[in-house]
A and B are shown apart, each in its own frame.
Chain A
Amino acid sequence: MIPVCRLEDLPKGESARVATNPPIAVFHTDDGGLYAVDDTCSHQDASLSEGWLEGCLIECPLHAASFDLRTGLPTCLPARRPVRTHRVSVEDGLVHVHVAAEEGSAA
């Protein structure tokens, strides 16, 4: 569980980048949802936290690939592979990311 920031520092429509390895992007959608996905686009090297957030979709700033934050699945080309999703919780006003286990790990 990784603390990200205070909830009031992540207004709706905004994103935060967590410098984990690999980095994670946390989004606060316009309808109040909090989502986290791997920050690096599965297509090529670009940071999704710098993308365009619309509803539950994040559009990559480099080639306009789009991902559904709820599932991590790409909704259009050029991305063909999903990004990992991570659970987000708020405790005492602090946003936390629960990093999903790496594929193939024992966890």
Chain B
Amino acid sequence: MRTVTVVGASLAGLYAARELRAQGFDGRLVVVGDESHEPYDRPPLSKEFLTGRADEADLALTDAGELAGLDARWLLGVRARGLDARGRTVLLDDGRTVSTDGVVVATGAAARHLAGGPRAGVHTLRSLDDARALRAELTRGPCRVVVVGGGFVGAETASSCAALGHDVTVVEAAATPLVPQLGAELAVVCATLHRRAGVRLLTGVSVAGLRGTTAVTCVALTDGRTLPADVVVVGIGAVPNTAWLAGSPLLLNDGVLCDDGCVSALPQVVAVGDVARAGGLRAEHWTSATSQPRAAVRNLLAGRTVRSARSVPYFWSDQYGSRVQFAGRRRDGDTVRVEEGTIADGVPEGGGFLARYERAGRTTAVLAVDRPRSFMRARRELAAQTTGTPATAGGPRPGAT
């Protein structure tokens, strides 16, 4: 393999570039990124960056020394718009083409928007540019913020806005936020974090529309209520950036379909991070983006799947001064057992808690609030339990020949 092109210059793309060099690839390395910024870390955007505890320099994932060592050609601020039928040419938005022998797809996901055109005061929070714009508005003085969506981005943003002294309301369509991630029983517990911090949480109601001619003035809800708003932050999920691959031989279905070694329908194309549906699972987790590239690059260089990228899913969230950590693969119907701490009437008592999700006597997942040490032990146990079982493809193995 003489040239490898990494499409995507964020966390997963950078880790893929590192792995390529670490695993001995000494050919031409091209990295394409649609943002003009060098790789930066996204998790702090909704937290430390928004509250001003971190600045842009703190977000940098790499530095000049490492970049020189990677010896890659960085094409930043340009979007890939296609992959040819053989998977050997990446077409760029500006008309250029990159001929390549291998491709790492690391194009990530894009924030979902509400219907309707752009309006001043309405934000999503996915990129550094998004965060800059939102931070600029939030530092102009106290305002009324409506956060649409009570998922992790929504909750963290609401938490940061509250810490900055703004009046915050979160609107969540489901009866309780985070049920798909945490299950109903513990999602209720995490929802109390909002209320405890004085943030209004409206559930079971959706946004009917935004009002205001040039700038947003209020949010109209489906139950007829209206919420006055100076700033609206839309955190209703993300969609994988696969549009540029339409017409390529890759199989797409809410992500690039890959085997559990991140290998796509073409053996010389692998996918990593938010855009990859590996072994039937697409996880928008920081940890997946940093761990998948090792196996994906190994398989890319080997020309076939020799290693599984399967690992125990892990994510964390910092909100309202609490650290929420989750690891494992929970399924509906798992029994929840609180192992440490106390939850009384759905509210965690001081000091946090650690809970296990169990099925047939085995731990399937673990959730902790402010119990990092116990959580770490439990997470390692889960990992040991997982590697003890054979790693097989958990989903379709699309057209691999």
Contact = CB atoms under 8 A, between A and B. Distances in A.
B375 A61 contact: yes
A52 B380 contact: yes
A63 B266 CA distance: 32
Interface in A51-83: 51-52, 59, 61-63, 77-78, 80
Contact of B372 (A44, A61, A78): A61
Contacts of B377: 52
A85 B15 CA distance: 28
A99 interface: no
A47 interface: yes
A44 B376 contact: no
Contacts of A51: 373, 376
Nearest to A47: B372
A62 B48 CA distance: 15
Contacts of A7: none
B63 interface: yes
Nearest to A62: B316
Interface string B363-377: 000000000110111
Q: Which range holds the interface residue count of chain B?
A: 20 to 34
Nearest to A52: B376
A44 B61 CA distance: 12
A10 interface: no
Contacts of B287: 63
25 contacts: A44-B43, A44-B44, A45-B48, A45-B318, A46-B372, A47-B372, A50-B372, A50-B373, A50-B376, A51-B376, A52-B377, A61-B373, A61-B375, A61-B376, A62-B316, A62-B323, A62-B372, A63-B287, A63-B290, A77-B15, A77-B18, A78-B61, A78-B290, A80-B63, A80-B66
A74 to B, nearest CB: 13
What's the dominant secondary structure at chain B's contact region? Answer: helix
Most chain B beta-carbon neighbours within 10 Å: one of A44, A51, A61, A77: A61
Nearest to B371: A50
Given A44-B44, A45-B48, A62-B316, A77 B290 contact: yes
Interface in B284-300: 286-287, 290
A61 to B, nearest CB: 4
A45 B316 CA distance: 12
Contacts of A80: 63, 66
Interface string B33-68: 000000001011000100000000000010100100
Interface string A74-103: 000110100000000000000000000000
Interface string B234-274: 00000000000000000000000000000000000000000
A52 B167 CA distance: 39
Contacts of B380: 52
A39 to B, nearest CB: 12
A26 B48 CA distance: 27
A78 B44 CA distance: 14
B50 to A, nearest CB: 14
A77 B380 CA distance: 18
